[in-house]
C-alpha cells in the first residue's frame, strides 16, 4: 500500500461515501443512500456481522463485510464482500480488508463462504489467490421500461394487484414458498416474518405500488417485487415467483410486464434484474421483456 491505510469499524457517517463507491462500481446493484442508512443498524445479531472500512489520507476508499448467512439453515454458511474504489485498487487494500474479514469468519464458525465476484479475469484470479473457486455465474441485465412489448392478455379469472393491496402477510407467504426454488450454491430458507418485515417489507427502497401480484380466482399465485432509487432513476427486480400449481400459465410474464409499466410511469428510466444462468424460464421472460446482459458476477466458494 502506497499510503498508510487504516482499517476501522464502519460508522453511519461513512455510508454516503460507500454508497457512492458502490454506485460507481456496480451501477446495476440498485440501493439508495437512504436504504443503506436504514439497514445499517438493524442487521440481526445472529448474522454476527463484521463491517469495516479502509481509510487512506482521511478518506474512506473501501469496505469489507463478513457475516453468517441468515437466509439458509446450512450450518456455517457465510458471505464476504470486499469493495475498493477503482482509483485505489492494486495497492493491497482489498487484500488487507479481506484479511480482517477472514479472521472474523473463523471466529464466528463459518465453514463455507461465498463471495460474489465480477466476471473480470483479474478479479476472478484475485479471488482464486484467496482460495475461492468460481462456481456458477449470475447475469445482471438492464431494460428500458418505456420500450416494452405489448402487454399480454389477462387469462380468465386472473387479476393483477399491487403488494400494497395484498398486504405484508400474504406477500410474505408467497415469498416464503417460492424463494426455495431459486437456483444457487446455497439452499435458501426464508427468514422469520418479523425479520422479513424489518429487512424487506419496510425497506425504504421497496415500492409496494410497483410490485405486482397475480390473483387466480382470488388466490395469490405469482408476484414480482421492485425496489427503486428514484434519485438515480433506477429500479431493481428483487424477486419473481410463481406457486408450483400455477406454473406454465404465463403469470411471471404478466406480473413483470405490468410491474415494468408501473416503473416507467413512476419516471424510472433503467430497470435492472439478475438471473442465475441455469434459470431458463425466467431468462426467457426477461429476454422477451427486452432485458439485455450488462454484467456478470460469479458465485465463488471457499471452505474454511
CA atoms of 272 and 292, how far apart (whole Å) = 9
221 in a domain, yes or no?
Answer: yes
40 in a domain, yes or no?
Answer: yes
268 in a domain, yes or no?
Answer: yes
Grid cell, residue 199, equals 429487512
Last residue of a domain, one of 88, 110, 132: 110
DSSP category for residue 152: P
The CATH number covering residue 55 comes to 3.40.630.30
Q: Which residue has the cell 445482471?
A: 140
303 in a domain, yes or no?
Answer: no
Spell out the residues 6+ positions from residue 20 whose beta carbon is closer than 8 angstroms to its own: none
Along the 304 residues of the chain, how does pLDDT read in single tens digits? 556 899 999 999 999 999 999 999 999 999 999 999 999 999 999 999 999 999 999 999 999 999 999 999 999 999 999 999 999 999 999 999 999 999 999 999 999 999 999 999 999 999 999 999 999 999 999 999 999 999 999 999 999 999 999 999 999 999 999 988 888 888 899 999 999 999 999 999 999 999 999 999 999 999 999 999 999 999 999 899 999 999 999 999 999 999 999 999 999 999 999 999 888 999 999 999 999 999 999 999 999 9
**12 lies in the same domain as 75:** yes
**98 lies in the same domain as 239:** no
Last residue of a domain, one of 67, 90, 110: 110
**277 lies in the same domain as 191:** yes
- Count of alpha carbons within 13 angstroms of residue 57, beta-carbon side: 5
The domain containing residue 61 runs over which residues? 5-110
* Order of strands, sheet of 212-216, starting from the edge strand that comes earlier in the sequence: 5-9, 50-56, 59-68, 77-84, 112-118, 292-303, 133-143, 270-276, 234-242, 219-229, 212-216, 158-162
**99 lies in the same domain as 167:** no
Rounded to the nearest 5°, which phi and psi values hold at 266? -85, 0
**164 lies in the same domain as 58:** no
CA atoms of 110 and 79, how far apart (whole Å) = 9
3-state secondary structure of 38: helix
Number of structural domains the chain divides into: 2
Amino acid at each position: 500500500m502506497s499510503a498508510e491505510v487504516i482499517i476501522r469499524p464502519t460508522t453511519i457517517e461513512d455510508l454516503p461515501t460507500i454508497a457512492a463507491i458502490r454506485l460507481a462500481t456496480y451501477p446495476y446493484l440498485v440501493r439508495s443512500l437512504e436504504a443503506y442508512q436504514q439497514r445499517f443498524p438493524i442487521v440481526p445479531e445472529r448474522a454476527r456481522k463484521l463491517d469495516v472500512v479502509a481509510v487512506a489520507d482521511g478518506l474512506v476508499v473501501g469496505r469489507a463485510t463478513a457475516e453468517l448467512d441468515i437466509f439458509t439453515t446450512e450450518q456455517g454458511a457465510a458471505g464476504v464482500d470486499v469493495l475498493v474504489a477503482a482509483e485505489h485498487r492494486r495497492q493491497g487494500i482489498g487484500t488487507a480488508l479481506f484479511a480482517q474479514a477472514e479472521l472474523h469468519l473463523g471466529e464466528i464458525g463459518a465453514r463455507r463462504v461465498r463471495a460474489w465476484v465480477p466476471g473480470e479475469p483479474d478479479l476472478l484470479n484475485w479471488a482464486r489467490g484467496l482460495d475461492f473457486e468460481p462456481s456458477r455465474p449470475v447475469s445482471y441485465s438492464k431494460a428500458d421500461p418505456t420500450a416494452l412489448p405489448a402487454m399480454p392478455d389477462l387469462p380468465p379469472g386472473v387479476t393483477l394487484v399491487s403488494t400494497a393491496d395484498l398486504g405484508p402477510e400474504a406477500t410474505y407467504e408467497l415469498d416464503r414458498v417460492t424463494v426455495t426454488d431459486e437456483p444457487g450454491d446455497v439452499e435458501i430458507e426464508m427468514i422469520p416474518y418479523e425479520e422479513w418485515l424489518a429487512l424487506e417489507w419496510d425497506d425504504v427502497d421497496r415500492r409496494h405500488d410497483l410490485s405486482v401480484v397475480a390473483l387466480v380466482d382470488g388466490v395469490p399465485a405469482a408476484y414480482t417485487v421492485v425496489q427503486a432509487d428514484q434519485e438515480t432513476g433506477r429500479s431493481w427486480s428483487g424477486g419473481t415467483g410463481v406457486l408450483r400449481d400455477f406454473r406454465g400459465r404465463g403469470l411471471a410474464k404478466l406480473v413483470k410486464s405490468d410491474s415494468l409499466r408501473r416503473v416507467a410511469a413512476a419516471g424510472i428510466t433503467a430497470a435492472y434484474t439478475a438471473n442465475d444462468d441455469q434459470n431458463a424460464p425466467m431468462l426467457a421472460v426477461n429476454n422477451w421483456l427486452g432485458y439485455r446482459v450488462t454484467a456478470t458476477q460469479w458465485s465463488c466458494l471457499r471452505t474454511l
